[in-house]
Structure 1
């Protein structure tokens, strides 16, 4: 029914009701416009440039709303007062509070998405969250709710991945891609908050409830001149004359990670050291800053215990600068570490009641009282000096491996070896005094490996220089200082001490170094007997790679020693095992020899390069090849002449590499003058086979590599005599069947030797059944007996009998 026909209603009531409805709608509109005004007012707090324009719009809106609001209040009557109170209750929030609310809202959304395992939604919200945090981090504050959220999200992600692997039912492809995508982003994002996340996981409730520290940045002070400078100085230090340096020092402080000021005092040293130890091995750790702080701690330290603890951590932290095995420690850092190790040893020498050893109990630095020696008992401090000394030696060796040996830089670096050797001797004296037997053995091995490959004169000079630089109060019971000490006695004393140790590796390396030293100084029989007595040939394949390399070097040095002593057969047998393989560089760790069909991975090649020995320890490979080929020539040429044309005898070879080179040389259509060592030896071999011993001797003596051996003239004379002897034997094997008798006088004149020597050689060949002949002393001639050549069946029967004899002999010795 229309209101016009409604009874009991007047026009005034109808109009008032209509106006009331109209006023309510107008009030709703005004409240919406006021809310828009509030949002505009909050945006003006963040951007001053937009404040003026927003204020104008706000004013216009206020007038409009005010006009409508006044009409509403006029029509509503009493309700106008309540609406005024509601408008006055508007709350204005800061930008920081708004960001916190947005962060909380996003975190709640992520928590809800985790409940249904929706990784697509989690990925999107995680990106939004990081964008807000990036803006917040510019002002230096990271909410702890964010740390809690990313830590819990990482744990939930790891749990989800583990559950996904174990469960048979897989998630859909879209969700799985989102999970894999956010996996990398979470790990990358959480690296920069590792410390805070670790702190949260250690104590979640305490971390969240902890009051955040507000760090106010220190405003920089500009240096002034004249009256302004004096005013600034008076402001900093009233009543005291102040310079520009004082103002600069007062204005700047040492700021650590996170913007916190680091103040180092004697009371806070242990706290700072604990923080350094906790940060070791973690990513994003500024090790250079840690070293600088510990250097200041060392200056601030007042007690002996504090200095020892700081030095132990400081040197270990310096070694952390080189985490990669492919690079080496910077020289300045190595020198600083060496000086600090020497300083630590000096402190321990001056204070015998302080002992650093590995099996000591670690003290709790949280105690108020600092540990001190009591009742004359030594205070044992947890640490390992021998590990620091070994690391110094390793870093020194690694630097020599990576520096080009043909540059002056290598020579300059090699000069530091005397400093390292002095540190090793000083640590040995300390370990002997502290009765640390295991450390004594380890440092003796390091000292021995710095001496065994050096000539005697160099060893004596290094010893004399080192002991003269050390205090006279220091002396060793194992290797005492002495003016008339010789190198052999020193090496023997160190090796005998190591022979008595339980560690098998130390005994093996000491034995090999001892043999090498004997062979280097031409004591062949000492070296041979010691090597055979050790029985290392049977067990060396079970040793580590570095020990096998040392064994190869020792074996080669024994062969060179036999060659210098004129023992050609012994030399060839010793060198055959190494030089006959064609991998001399690799076996001696003097380079990487690329094989034609070998496939070496980059990781394997990197490992092999790390095993290389420094250049100054190398054995000359060209000299080694020359010695091996010369020895093989002197043995092979008579053997080949003795074998004759027998096909079975040709299969036997003393040196297969020499045979291959000789065959290749004989197949050449044109042979020019010799250009290198191999050409000289191959042409000398051909001359020796034809009986032209003089040409062979001339070609061998013309090799220039002999100048690298001490007493070169003696070596060349020895080779000349050997060529004469083998030339005579080769001649008799080749042309003996064409003679019935051969005068000793003519044979001696043919090879330019005495009659007695020629007679001795022929007699030896007859006694060894090498030739079928008899020596007629009346006529002083050799009478050859015509022999009968064996048939193939007879040769096979002889070979079978030889193998049967060998089998019986091997069965007897089992």
Structure 2
């Protein structure tokens, strides 16, 4: 009597098959983790996979099984996935904290494992032949890709091929069940059969071909009936497996549509071509449309049009459609265009411009409606709807995106930057086309201004010798800016053109002209109400103007201009040379907008150079001021950031030789405070500073000579102010020899100090000496000074409460650039996106805007104190 166990099918499986199943189960979990982008789970799965394989090695060696190919495939898949994720900066930034931590760990572990286990050759072999039959040894048949019917494991011996089980249908059913259920023979049990030599792909082919099995059967009727039943079972099982499959390894195959073709019996006329063009363009923008195929179809139409000589109207229309299709190859507007596609588009636009310039009877304009187009009547002017100027403008924006997303420290950036020369040539050609056809009325005034503005945008930051322009570059710049001043009605392009003009003048050391142009524009009063891009350009212009003032020796003006940006500690962000680090304050959309506003690397202003110039200016202004403060309560800081660097240096327990530019300036400041001008000069002008700072100037030698001269003068002033209470008389000749200045220069400096009441002394001409006056302040004067300082502190605190700002302002003393001008209007928080808030830094040391247009009021509010004795 049969027991309950007889009703169940018992399967005796080889130990090797169990290990294979265990490994494949882990591999499937890893694939699920990849599809879910769960790198933490994938890291744990990789550890489990390697540990399981190490345990299975002994079993594989006993049965002469080499490293399974499906295991190598799994390692390659994980490696490709990790490398792709590592190179995708956008995907990396969107990872969670745990996944971001697991990514480098998984990458390192995978490299180390492949190297230690000597699997590099197997991985290379798999990459060379990924579609080779089988994923393990020839003796094994259980492959992950060929495992279509899982139930086959319970219906056959683990050592027999699948077709051997199928061919045994000619025997009795009882014998078939007995052999499939109870056979426990090893893998070599079927060696007498010729079926063992059949490859796995052949087994798979036989598995799906019913006719072949019927022909091989001795009993055709029985085999046909039984085969049909088995086939039905197989179909049902395959459907069940397909429904339960979660691997997501299926890759959809896009069957490309053939190129457009015309009926050979039909004559290709204008109407036929226009109809075919409308058919192709009807699929534009649809999700099912292959964008590359769409471009190929249009190119085929253009080729046929030129062969049939259908006229320039049709050719220009199709060419413009090709340009639009090339721009639409990217699925997202925010994505940057592929460089090869960009060059292809640039070449196509260039060819279209050549046609439009050479043919006066072709008019391309956005003012034409679709029904007003004339594509076939050659007796009239061809009229085509579209704008070549907008195409050039969009191409210029794509080049900026390409450079923004390229690695600025690689050769790839240099290769892509070469396209900037071709882009400049295209813009010049577009300008020539505008000048030729401007009288025909086919252009919008705003489009024309954009063309001039694009050309300015590629010139304003370059030196004359870098501009590939015939004639005087200055005259070209003046001409382009004046065109915009006359044509622009919206004022935005006019503001940007003016700022670019000031920037160009500052780069070429035309200080007075640049300052006057900025003054006349009143930009300091209206820039708060401008768009973010204009504000960024204003920041860049102010910094470049400050550097220009420094090169001319205007230390106060340079310090005043650079302090707007330097005092905010966000110089790179305000100049659009980096994205802010405070990510929690911005939404992903705002951060994306900020990234799109970044200036390409070749247009950056050297922030380290700008900081060094600012600190040198602060040193030349602050050190004599510190020496003149006889009483601590009378000290008023001109540059809080400079004082902060001095305090940090004083706090250091061990001060070594200076290494960076900041430490060099601090060490020079200490030397100047002691009156040692030679030591100060050695810290500012040396080989290391030449490499980091001075060699970056266009004319380095005159700038260094100016700095040394100012160090001598300010050291003399500091020396006199510091030791005025020590000396009763000082010889001018001795001072001239001590600071290596002429007697005339020493006399001039001392006279200015006496007139400005900085030094209480008189010059005795007969003896050629300086006589010091020792006058101590009275008790009433001391109390008055104390009261004045306390009132000033109270006033500053009130202003900080009423108008909170970040940072501190620049130099507010006499000699400002714009004395008597009103403060800028508007709120400093004006703006949008992630760039709002402290837009320019525009915050002063005392909580007020440190801009150049507000110095008159600042001076009246905080008058500079003079000596009371």
Distance 2:859 2:618 in 1: 33
Alignment partners' CA distance in 1, 2:396 and 2:630? 57
Cα distance in 1 for partners of 2:535, 2:286 equals 36
1:591 aligned to which of 563, 578, 581: 578
Q: Give secondary structure in 2 for the equivalent of 1:356.
A: strand
Q: Secondary structure at the match of 1:381?
A: strand
Contact 2:681 2:711 in 1 (8 A): yes
1:699 lines up with 2:683 in the alignment: yes
Distance 1:739 1:406 in 2: 58
Secondary structure class of the residue paired with 1:737: coil
Q: 1:811 to 1:328 in 2, by over 3 A?
A: closer
Q: Decide which of 698, 702, 714 is 1:710's aligned counterpart.
A: 698
Task: Name the structure 2 match of 1:568.
Answer: 555
Provide the TM-score with structure 2 as the length reference. 0.58
Whether 1:505 aligns to 2:489 is no
Matches within 5 A, 1:172-211: none
C-alpha distance after superposition, 1:786-813 (max 9, x if no partner): 2333323345358979999999986999
Q: Is contact 1:255-1:262 (8 Å) kept? A: no
* Gap regions ≥5 residues in structure 1: 1-46, 58-130, 136-191, 193-253, 465-484
1:686 Cα deviation after fit: 0.7
Is residue 2:464 matched to residue 1:456? Answer: yes
Q: C-alpha distance in 2, partners of 1:801/1:410? A: 53
Give the match for residue 628 of structure 1.
614
**Matched ranges for 1:240-319 at <5 A:** 257=257, 262-263=261-262, 265=268, 267-301=271-305, 302-319=310-327
Residue of structure 1 in register with 2:623 after alignment: 637
Q: 1:623 to 1:798 in 2, by over 3 A?
A: closer
Q: In the alignment, what sits opposite 1:610?
A: 596
Contact 2:615–2:665 (Cα < 8 Å) also in 1: yes
- Select the structure of larger CA radius of gyration: 1
Tell me the equivalent position of 1:431: 434
The worse-fitting range, judged by mean Cα deviation, of 569-578 and 418-427 is 418-427
CA distance 1:340–1:563, change in 2 (3 Å): same
Tell me, which stretches of 5 or more residues in structure 2 are unaligned? 1-209, 215-219, 227-238, 244-251, 797-813, 815-819, 824-855, 861-869
The corresponding residue for 1:417 is 420
Change (3 A) 1:54 1:270: farther
1:738 and 1:796 map into 2 onto residues whose CA distance is: 29
Cα deviation, residue 326, structure 1: 5.2
Compared CA separation, residues 661 and 326, structure 1 to 2 (3 A): farther
Distance 1:810 1:558, change over 3 A: closer
| Secondary structure at the counterpart of residue 463 of structure 1 | coil
How far apart are the structure 1 equivalents of 2:712 and 2:584?
Answer: 43
RMSD value over aligned CA atoms? Answer: 3.4
Question: Per-residue displacement from partner, 1:533-553 (whole Å, max 9, x unpaired)?
Answer: 101011111112211111111
**Alpha carbons of structure 1 residues 260 and 319: separation in structure 2 relative to 1, 3 Å:** closer
Deviation at 1:440, TM superposition (A): 2.1
The answer to whether the 8 Å contact 2:311/2:376 transfers is no
Task: Specify which structure has the higher proportion of helix.
Answer: 1
Alignment partner of 2:784 out of 787, 793, 798: 793
Cα distance in 1 for partners of 2:670, 2:330 equals: 56
Is residue 400 from structure 1 mapped to residue 411 from structure 2 by the alignment? no
The normalised TM-score by structure 1 is 0.62
- Mark the CA change 1:348 to 1:688 in structure 2 (over 3 Å): closer, same or farther: same
Aligned pair count? 546
- Deviation readout 1:502-521 (Å, 9 max, x if unpaired): 13111111101111111111
Query: Deviation at 1:714?
Result: 2.0
1:435-450 → structure 2 map (5 Å cutoff): 435=438, 436=443, 437-450=445-458
Cα offset for 1:432? Answer: 2.2
Change (3 A) 1:354 1:270: same
Change in 2 beyond 3 A, CA 1:364/1:326: closer
Contact kept, 8 Å, 1:405 with 1:615, in 2: the verdict is yes
Matched, 1:328 2:336: yes
1:292–1:737 CA distance, 2 compared to 1 (3 A):
same
Distance 1:600 1:524 in 2: 38
Displacement of 1:263 in angstroms is 3.6
The whole-number CA distance in structure 2 between the counterparts of 1:287 and 1:801 is 69
Question: Superposed, which structure 2 residues align to 1:412-561 within 5 Å?
Answer: 412-435=415-438, 436=443, 437-459=445-467, 462-464=468-470, 485-500=471-486, 501-561=488-548
Aligned counterparts of 1:559 and 1:277: Cα–Cα separation in 2: 54
| Distance 1:766-1:315 versus aligned 2 partners, 3 A rule | same
1:670 pairs, out of 635, 654, 669, with: 654
After TM superposition, the structure 1 = structure 2 runs for residues 102-181 of structure 1, keeping only pairs within 5 Å, are: none
Residues 302-359 of structure 1: CA deviation (Å, up to 9, x unaligned): 2211111111111011011123355421222112211211221222223212211111
Q: Distance in 1 between matches of 2:519 and 2:394?
A: 34
Does the Cα contact within 8 Å between 2:372 and 2:383 map onto a contact in 1?
no
Distance 1:382 1:585 in 2: 43
Secondary structure, counterpart of 1:738 in structure 2: coil
Mapped partners of 1:432, 1:261: distance in 2: 39
Q: How far, CA to CA, are the matches of 1:583 and 1:314 in structure 2?
A: 44
CA contact (8 A) 1:546 1:611 kept: yes
Q: Which residue of 2 aligns with 1:195?
A: none
Contact 1:432 1:440 in 2 (8 A): no
Question: 2:563 is paired with a residue of what secondary structure?
Answer: helix
Determine the structure 2 residue equivalent to 1:679: 663
